[in-house]
């Protein structure tokens, strides 16, 4: 008979975006006797939750800190740096030096943290290099995410297959299955809605799950259902300050014929002022700039 997984609930809450609840579970786990490797993982997950909640001051490392904590401290510094100052900053150089150190070799926690930092910096090649060997379930899940990001659905399906081989019923496998289903188009979007609804029913809805469900419903052309998901995200999880929720609200409103309303204008203004580096905002500003340049030609003609 196998021993119970002492950190199952903590991992589940973190992966599903229940970060505050995950912190509570992490504190509870700290009061239980844990083997050394699970103590290290618990501390790592707790710090990752603080980062997800924007509590960057909770993640501080010294020269004597372990290599995994040093990587998380670099992530904290990167996330706490204004987006316009991240490009060309010394932070990524510090990360690369850390990855090149003998202590980092084969350290899956450091690799995963580095992958998240490179993703946030828009460096997909470097992010993939950190996890492409698929040494853990989270590595494989990140591979799925990166391949979807570069429109390689075939490779995402390969990584998903490996994830399912490891544990088909795991939360990571279910989430990855939902994301691949969404990327596969309207014919598979219903599968994603079903998977995400099951996770929400079992573990409770979260900002992450509601946004994913809204995306799946939009791909399935169920825009009213998507709008309902997004309203819940705003009312129950303060989604009005979340970039992905705002983007989804704008896209959903366009499909519902509400694209010119005051509410959408407010969402767009908030995105432009608070989320300048978001890919949606970058694309929007590029299109608006092109339109302004073309219209100026006719005004001066």
**Model pLDDT, residue 264:** 87
Instruction: Identify whether the C-beta of residue 133 lies closer than 8 Å to the C-beta of residue 107.
Output: no
Helix axis angle for 171-183 and 207-219, nearest 10°, is: 30
Per-residue model confidence as pLDDT tens digits over 19-41 = 999 999 999 999 999 999 999 99
Positions in the chain whose pLDDT score sits under 70 = 1-4, 87-88, 300-301
**Model pLDDT, residue 47:** 97
Distance from C-alpha of 301 to C-alpha of 299, rounded to nearest angstrom: 6
pTM of the full predicted structure? 0.92
Distance from C-alpha of 137 to C-alpha of 148, rounded to nearest angstrom: 17
- Between the alpha carbon of residue 2 and those of residues 5, 6, 66, 164, 172, the distances in Å are 9, 12, 30, 20, 21
Instruction: Identify whether the C-beta of residue 109 lies closer than 8 Å to the C-beta of residue 71.
Output: yes
**Model pLDDT, residue 1:** 34
Taking the CA of residue 20 as centre, how many other CA atoms within 13 Å lie in the half-sphere pointing to its CB? 3
Instruction: Identify whether the C-beta of residue 279 lies closer than 8 Å to the C-beta of residue 251.
Output: no
Which residue's structure tokens are 């199952």? 8
Domain ranges of the chain: 206-214+221-301
**Model pLDDT, residue 88:** 64
- Count Cβ atoms within 10 A of the Cβ of residue 131 and give its class: 0-12 exposed, 13-18 middle, 19 or more buried: buried
Distance from C-alpha of 189 to C-alpha of 223, rounded to nearest angstrom: 13
Distance from C-alpha of 189 to C-alpha of 186, rounded to nearest angstrom: 5
**Model pLDDT, residue 163:** 97
Instruction: Identify whether the C-beta of residue 144 lies closer than 8 Å to the C-beta of residue 155.
Output: no
Which residue's structure tokens are 């103590």? 39
- Count Cβ atoms within 10 A of the Cβ of residue 278 and give its class: 0-12 exposed, 13-18 middle, 19 or more buried: middle
**Model pLDDT, residue 253:** 92
Closest to 120 in 3D by CA, of 152, 90, 65, 80? 80
């Amino acid at each position: 008979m196998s021993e119970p997984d002492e950190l199952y609930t903590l991992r589940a809450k973190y992966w599903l975006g229940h970060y505050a609840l995950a912190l509570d579970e992490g504190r509870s786990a700290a009061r239980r006797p844990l083997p050394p490797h699970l103590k290290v993982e618990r501390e790592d997950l707790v710090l990752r939750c603080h980062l997800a909640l924007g509590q960057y001051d909770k993640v501080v490392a010294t020269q004597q800190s372990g290599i995994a904590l040093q990587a998380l401290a670099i992530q904290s510094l990167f996330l706490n740096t204004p987006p316009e100052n991240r490009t060309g900053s010394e932070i990524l150089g510090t990360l690369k030096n850390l990855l090149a150190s003998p202590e980092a070799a084969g350290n899956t926690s450091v690799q995963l943290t580095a992958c998240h930092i490179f993703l946030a910096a828009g460096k997909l090649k470097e992010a993939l290099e950190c996890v492409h060997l698929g040494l853990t379930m989270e590595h494989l899940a990140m591979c799925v995410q990166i391949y979807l990001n570069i429109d390689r659905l075939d490779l995402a399906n390969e990584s998903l297959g490996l994830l399912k081989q490891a544990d088909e019923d795991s939360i990571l496998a279910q989430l990855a299955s939902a994301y691949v289903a969404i990327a596969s188009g309207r014919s598979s979007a219903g599968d994603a809605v079903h998977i995400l609804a099951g996770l929400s029913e079992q573990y409770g809805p979260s900002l992450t799950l509601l946004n994913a469900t809204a995306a799946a419903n939009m791909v399935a052309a169920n825009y009213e259902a998507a709008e309902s998901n997004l309203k819940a995200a705003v009312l129950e999880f303060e989604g009005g300050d979340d970039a992905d929720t705002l983007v989804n609200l704008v896209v959903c409103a366009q499909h519902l014929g509400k694209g010119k309303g005051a509410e959408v204008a407010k969402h767009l203004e908030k995105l432009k002022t608070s989320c300048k580096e978001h890919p949606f905002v970058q694309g929007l500003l590029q299109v608006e700039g092109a339109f302004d340049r073309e219209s100026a030609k006719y005004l001066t003609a």
